Amino acid sequence: MAIKGLLSSFSKTKGRIFKWNSIIACSKWSSTTPGRSYDDTLAIRKKHLTPALLTYYTKPVLIHQGYKQWLFDHTGKRYLDLFAGIVTVSVGHCHPKLVEVAQRQLETLWHTTNIYLHPTIHEFAEQLTSKLPGDLKVVYFTNSGSEANDLAVIMAKLHTGAHDIVTLRNSYHGGSPFAMEMTNIGTWKYPLHRHLGIHASINPDVFRGPWGGANCRDSIAQTQRPCNCAKGQCEASLMYADQLEDLLKHCCPKKVAGFLAETIQGVGGAVHLPKGFLKRAYELIRERGGVCISDEVQCGFGRLGTHYWGFETQDVVPDIVTMAKGIGNGFPMAAVVTTPSMTQALHFNTFGGNPMACAIGSAVLDVIDEEKLQANCNHVGTLLLSELMKLRDEFEVVGDIRGKGLMIGLELVKNKETKEPLPAAEVTEIWENCKNHGVLIGKGGLYGTTLRIKPPMCVTEEDVRFAVGVLRAVLKEYSSK
């Protein structure tokens, strides 16, 4: 099918934007961003913003408006957003309920630090902890995922009296100086003073790692490697856990402070840990007096579909849970949730738990429940994974499809057998062409060759058909050269 045909459903009339065949309720459309042209915006960015703020695409997109799973540039062109502001927009851009709640809170109280009582922080804390199992009932509010992970590790060290922290290679836990030490993707590390006591175990990657096969993931998306595992079991997870145990024996003191991991690695390219790995890893850490921390910054709030939290898919309960991004649907906020026994850390944050953040966070939880977005992630995500696996079967360049719910990765390779990464220029060509035809996708992984597909959780079956159609057309165009 020609790409032009795929885009025939895109339409715009003056003052109205159409979502497929129904009108999107949004503010009056203006053809350019207020007061600044595209060229002026680029000039200001070049002059006044740090060059460390990289932009996506050869010709960056100037976003002007958003609604649910859609973004619109300054010309009115519409894009299906499959990256959700780096896995941050959980319930949809400018969701009407969140807009209403934010406006109401703005008229009531913007800010007071949490040294005072105000209703929203208490209501949200109670609502948020009701979503967590066991004794995970104490909340520290922060502003970002990096800060949440920093605080979680400080808490682990204070609680245990130990110093060493274990993470996984290929992990990303933030960009602050301490979180960067726990991040183990070379792209995101700088030659700064290194904190001692951070250890990274082998990444349990059943696609690129030494062990793993077609029965190892808790997902319909499996690798195409042969697998001898019995149903419900994963020998690879035990082998990766053995490597963790070896690291603990040789590189760590007898007592460690903790272990920090995601269930599906976000920046690392949606690498999905094999079934049972976290269960054994948690046992090994706890045997050495450490606590277990689950980084739910990208996996949490129902995105994986079958469960509300990523750690639940591995049948474990951590001692500390960190969360950010989707918790506020784009409003800057984060949280650390732990048990009453782990509250030695005195933590003060000027903006953490502010009235605006808590009001919006509470509304996000309401929308996830009211619109059954966790179930939508399971249903639409399963459909999307099954359609993407068809692309893997059709195209040599698609090496692996992985993930669960709406936390998905599509890894591009030069050769399926050798798994040689596709050269960066060719990845960029495919990625840019998806954008040119109305689909925004992220990139990640060690080699930057994984398309990160993690849309707002309100995407529909129709969106899946459109997105896969664009991907298929773009891959056909690439493969025909």
Q: Return the pLDDT at 209.
A: 95
Average pLDDT, stretch 82-101? Answer: 97
Average pLDDT, stretch 390-413? Answer: 98
Distance CA 328, CA 231 (A): 38
Average pLDDT, stretch 358-365? Answer: 98
pLDDT per position as a tens digit, 46-79: 999 988 888 999 999 999 899 999 999 988 999 9
Q: Return the pLDDT at 15.
A: 29
Domain spanning 100-370 has what CATH number?
Answer: 3.40.640.10
Q: Return the pLDDT at 203.
A: 97
Widest CA span in the chain: 68
Decide whether 22-87+373-479 matches 100-370 in CATH topology.
Answer: no
What is the band of 25 on the pLDDT scale with cuts at 50, 70, 90?
A: very low
For residue 143, give the DSSP letter: S
**Three-state SS for 354?**
coil
What is the band of 110 on the pLDDT scale with cuts at 50, 70, 90?
A: very high
More confident residue, 11 or 255: 255
What is the band of 476 on the pLDDT scale with cuts at 50, 70, 90?
A: very high
Q: Is the pLDDT assigned to residue 340 strictly greater than 90?
A: yes
Mean of per-residue pLDDT scores for the chain? 91
70-73 vs 165-168, strand pairing mode: unpaired
Using alpha carbons, select from 280, 207, 191 the residue that is nearest to residue 243. 280
407-415 vs 420-421, strand pairing mode: antiparallel
Average pLDDT, stretch 330-358? Answer: 91
Alpha carbons within 13 A on the beta-carbon side of 189 = 17
Contacts for 298 with CB less than 8 Å, ≥ 6 apart: 87, 262, 264, 266, 325, 326, 407, 454
Please state, for a pLDDT cut of 70, what percent of the chain lies above it: 93
Q: Is the pLDDT assigned to residue 6 strictly greater than 90?
A: no
Distance CA 457, CA 64 (A): 21
What is the band of 344 on the pLDDT scale with cuts at 50, 70, 90?
A: confident
Backbone φ and ψ of 295, nearest 5°: -85, 105
Backbone φ and ψ of 410, nearest 5°: -125, 110
Average pLDDT, stretch 251-267? Answer: 97
Q: Return the pLDDT at 11.
A: 35
Q: Return the pLDDT at 18.
A: 32
Average pLDDT, stretch 391-418? Answer: 97
Q: Is the pLDDT assigned to residue 174 strictly greater than 60?
A: yes
Phi-psi region of 285 (alpha: psi -120 to 50; beta: other; left: phi over 0): alpha
pLDDT per position as a tens digit, 202-258: 999 999 999 999 999 999 999 999 888 877 778 999 999 999 999 999 999 999 999
Instruction: Name the pTM for this structure.
Output: 0.92
Question: Looking at the domain 22-87+373-479, which fold is it?
Answer: Aspartate Aminotransferase, domain 1 (3.90.1150)
Contact yes or no for 111/354 (Cβ under 8 A)? yes
More confident residue, 481 or 439: 439
Q: Return the pLDDT at 34.
A: 58
Average pLDDT, stretch 298-308? Answer: 98
Helix, strand counts (H, E) of the chain: 13, 21
Distance CA 193, CA 250 (A): 23
Q: Is the pLDDT assigned to residue 314 strictly greater than 80?
A: yes
Write down the domain spans for the chain: 22-87+373-479, 100-370
Matching residue, tokens 């949280």: 335
Helix (H) or strand (E) holding 321: strand 320-323
**Three-state SS for 325?**
helix
Please state, for a pLDDT cut of 90, what percent of the chain lies above it: 81
